[in-house]
Amino acid sequence: MRPLHLTSEKDWHEQLAINATSAFHVLKWFVLQATKAQAPAIAVLTSSVGAEAGIANHEAITAAKCAVTNKRPVSAGSW
């Protein structure tokens, strides 16, 4: 965790991969399984308060957590 001006592009992409990309893969797998089973299903995506509260030196983590948090209503609208 570091301030934005000290965050490397590698660190930025790492946070997105850990949070947003992993949530994408889990949700995609979940939808494929639920579709295949032709059964109602509920997916639960969790994040941290970092997506909703300003925390010093957490810019990369907060951006990645926001991506996860905002995936919920978008995905719910699709399925």
pLDDT in tens, 31-53: 899 999 998 888 887 776 666 66
Instruction: Give me the residues of the chain with pLDDT under 50, please.
Output: none
Q: How far apart are the first and last CA of the chain?
A: 35
Residue 27's Cβ-count burial label (10 Å; 0-12, 13-18, 19+) is middle
Q: What is the pLDDT of residue 32?
A: 93
Specify the 3-state DSSP secondary structure of 56.
Answer: coil
Cα angle 4-70-76, degrees, rounded to a multiple of 5: 165
* Residue 66 near residue 18 (C-beta atoms within 8 A): no
Q: What is the pLDDT of residue 3?
A: 85
